[in-house]
Amino acid sequence: MSDPRQPLRLSADRDRCAGAGMCALTAPEVFDQDDEEGLVVLLHPVPAPEHQAAARMAVGLCPAGAIALDSPDSTAP
Ligand code: SF4
């Protein structure tokens, strides 16, 4: 069970990113795209509480599976 008070940690894999831009559209405070390749730029690996819902939505919408949530719980074997 994840604790909503735990900080949310994000990761982005630019090798998988397809430059679709869903993340930057959905959570512009958290994600951006670089000007040259359009690949994801993670602005805030630990988003502020008010941006966490949008960040989670962006993870779900990414068509390439290039962004992920790393909650402390999910690292357990
Ligand atoms: S939504 Fe996914 S594929 Fe699109 S720019 Fe963001 S990380 Fe890249």
What CA–CA distance (Å, rounded) separates 63 from 48? 24
Q: Does the beta carbon of 43 lie inside 6 Å of ligand 1?
A: no
Could you tell me the pTM of the whole model? Answer: 0.85
Residue 67 host element (H or E):
strand 67-69
Ligand 1 proximity of 59 Cβ (cutoff 6 Å): no
Distance CA 16, CA 31 (A): 15
What are the tens digits of pLDDT across the range 10-39? 999 999 999 999 999 999 999 999 999 999
Mean pLDDT of 47-51: 96
Question: With a 6 A CB cut-off, is 21 part of the ligand 1 pocket?
Answer: yes
Q: Tell me the mean pLDDT in the region 49-73.
A: 92
Has residue 1 got a pLDDT over 70? Answer: no
* Average pLDDT over every residue of 59-70: 96
